[in-house]
């Protein structure tokens, strides 16, 4: 069995420049912190555009719902995937038009539908006839994407268990929707988040190609959009993931689709994970059962919540310590015993006030952190300069 530390990239030390930056940020803002690099966001967005050149990108706001992230991506021409009223309000506060959004939550309260329509959203995802029924009062104003279920074993987070209809149900939903007067724009899917094999996308795209052919032969108004969801992975193990090899088969599969099909994607993690680091401080230490325990001011109930909800293991960076390393445990600040970030770490001795850096911490971190023990969430600060957060 692998240890909890297995698969987790550990880095000791940091360049003098990095150290000065971390300490400067901690002095200025206190800890715990999440530090956003706008420049790294731009790099990720341009990189994904290059890898999926004919695909319009809709950032999935849920991954890291912060105005600086939205603003930075909007300035590059990115569109947005919204799934709640709160996310729509975030865009409205930044004066971003609802026309640049798709509403991707397959199950919505009528109140949410109205809020989305008021905000200018006109494309909604459904995966069953009940949901279609809820949209009927606005059928002449909205476009529909039918979400399909493609369970995948190679994704860290399965998003087809709860949502998406079996592909064979899509023709009936499309037909009923057109008959009711909806504009059926196309199909959508999500192969699961942190999807490590490109084959999941390739298979789903291929099934959608065949399904679109079948549907478009039968229906008076052809479906013209395919939404390939999110799921594109990031390199939490810092092992030099081969992104060229990953995206090439997906690009090939997209090239086999009809030329005039409008392609969209809803990436979250890929854009934002590498653009954020966490800075937390050692607030206490003890020896328990022959192990060194270090307690940080951020943990599983805070920015590291993704370790529970998102099954992620973030690469960690520690101060260079003098002296021998020994088996250590890294715990969070709450009173709960599950609040342990990592065990079986081989660490140099740490002291109160030492900084621990979590890298790749933009996706599903702050978004899912709680206020347990009435502790404050990590403060989010935005750095304009380019720095290596990956
Ligand atoms: C409907 C939908 N679209 C997009 C995303 C973003 O996925 P990812 O962060 O894997 O790119 C999610 C994640 O939960 C989602 O549920």
One DSSP character per residue, 54-78 reads: TEEEEEEGGGS--HHHHHHHHHTT-
Q: Which residue from 383, 359, 378, 361 is spatially nearest to 14, judged by alpha carbons? A: 359
**CB–CB of 79/57 below 8 Å?**
yes
96-100, 160-164, 247-251, 312-316: segment of lowest average pLDDT: 160-164
The mean pLDDT of the chain is 94
pLDDT of 77 higher than 50: yes
CA distance 346 to 351: 15
> Which residue has a Cα nearest atom 13 of ligand 1?
193
Q: Return the pLDDT at 7.
A: 59
Pocket perturbation via mutation, ligand 1, pick of 44, 51, 63 by most ligand atoms within 8 A of CB: 63
Confidence band, pLDDT 50/70/90 cuts, at residue 182: very high
Is 335 designated active site?
yes
> Which residue has a Cα nearest atom 7 of ligand 1?
230
Q: Which residue from 243, 176, 167, 234 is spatially nearest to 206, judged by alpha carbons? A: 167
Confidence band, pLDDT 50/70/90 cuts, at residue 388: low
Q: DSSP string of 151-178? A: --TTEEE--SSSS-B-GGGHHHHHHHHH
Confidence band, pLDDT 50/70/90 cuts, at residue 390: low
> Which residue has a Cα nearest atom 16 of ligand 1?
159
CA distance 113 to 134: 9
**What spacing in Å lies between the alpha carbon of 310 and ligand 1's midpoint?**
11
Alpha-carbon dihedral sign for residues 51, 52, 53, 56: negative
Q: What domains are there in the chain, each with its CATH number? A: 10-35+274-383 (2.40.37.10), 38-272 (3.20.20.10)
Pocket perturbation via mutation, ligand 1, pick of 79, 127, 229 by most ligand atoms within 8 A of CB: 229
**Phi, psi (rounded to 5 degrees) for 325:** -90, 155
The residues with which 231 forms a beta bridge, in sequence order, are: none
**CB–CB of 358/304 below 8 Å?**
yes
CA distance 229 to 190: 5
Confidence band, pLDDT 50/70/90 cuts, at residue 3: very low
The token duo for 304 is 């590291």
Q: Return the pLDDT at 385.
A: 56
**What spacing in Å lies between the alpha carbon of 14 and ligand 1's midpoint?**
33
Q: What is the mean pLDDT of residues 157-176?
A: 93
Cα dist. 124→65, 106, 184, 278 in Å?
20, 8, 10, 35
pLDDT of 389 higher than 60: no
pLDDT > 90 fraction of the chain, expressed in percent and rounded: 88
Model pLDDT for residues 150-163, shown as the tens digit of each residue: 988 888 888 888 99
Confidence band, pLDDT 50/70/90 cuts, at residue 2: very low
Model pLDDT for residues 317-344, shown as the tens digit of each residue: 998 877 889 999 999 999 999 999 999 9
CA distance 210 to 189: 14
Task: Provide the whole-model pTM.
Answer: 0.95
Residue with tokens 């549907």: 215
Q: Return the pLDDT at 243.
A: 98
Q: Is 113 exposed, middle or buried (0-12, 13-18, 19+ CB in 10 A)?
A: buried
Q: Return the pLDDT at 383.
A: 85
Alpha-carbon dihedral sign for residues 364, 307, 34, 9: negative
User: Choosing from 78, 165, 208, 335, which is the catalytic residue?
Assistant: 335
**What spacing in Å lies between the alpha carbon of 230 and ligand 1's midpoint?**
5
Q: What is the mean pLDDT of residues 290-302?
A: 97
**CB–CB of 303/365 below 8 Å?**
yes
Confidence band, pLDDT 50/70/90 cuts, at residue 35: very high
């Amino acid at each position: 069995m692998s240890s909890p530390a297995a698969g987790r990239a550990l880095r000791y030390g940091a360049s003098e420049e990095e150290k000065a930056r971390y300490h400067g940020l901690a002095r200025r803002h206190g800890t715990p912190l999440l530090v956003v690099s706008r420049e790294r966001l731009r790099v990720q967005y341009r990189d994904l555009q290059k890898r999926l050149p004919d695909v319009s990108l809709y950032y999935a706001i849920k991954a890291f719902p912060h105005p600086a992230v939205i603003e930075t991506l909007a300035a590059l021409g990115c569109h947005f995937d919204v799934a709640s009223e709160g996310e729509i309000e975030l865009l409205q506060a930044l004066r971003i038009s609802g026309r640049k959004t798709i509403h991707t939550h397959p199950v919505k309260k009528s109140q949410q539908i109205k809020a989305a329509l008021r905000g200018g959203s006109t494309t909604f995802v459904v995966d069953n006839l009940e949901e279609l029924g809820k949209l009927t009062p606005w059928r002449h104003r909205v476009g529909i994407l039918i979400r399909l279920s493609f369970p995948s074993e190679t994704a860290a987070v399965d998003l087809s268990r709860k949502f998406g209809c079996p592909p064979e149900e899509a023709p009936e939903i499309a037909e009923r929707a057109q008959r009711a007067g909806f504009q059926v724009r196309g199909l959508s899917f999500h192969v699961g988040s942190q999807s490590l094999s490109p084959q999941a996308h390739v298979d789903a795209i291929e099934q959608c190609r065949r399904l679109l052919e079948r549907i478009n032969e039968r229906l008076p108004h052809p479906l013209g959009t395919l939404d390939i969801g999110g799921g594109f992975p990031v390199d939490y193990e810092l092992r030099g993931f081969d992104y060229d090899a990953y995206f090439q088969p997906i690009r090939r599969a997209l090239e086999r689709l009809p030329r005039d099909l409008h392609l969209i994607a809803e990436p979250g993690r890929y854009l934002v994970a590498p653009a954020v680091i966490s800075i937390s401080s050692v607030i206490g230490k003890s020896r328990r059962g022959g192990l060194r325990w270090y307690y940080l001011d951020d943990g599983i109930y805070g920015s590291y919540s993704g370790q529970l909800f998102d099954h992620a293991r973030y690469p960690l960076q520690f101060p260079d310590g003098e002296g021998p390393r020994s088996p250590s445990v890294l715990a969070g600040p709450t009173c709960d015993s599950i609040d342990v970030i990592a065990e079986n770490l081989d660490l140099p001795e740490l002291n109160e006030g030492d900084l621990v850096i979590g890298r790749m911490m933009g996706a599903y971190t702050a978004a899912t952190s709680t206020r347990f023990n009435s502790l404050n969430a990590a403060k989010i600060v935005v750095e304009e300069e380019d720095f290596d957060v990956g």
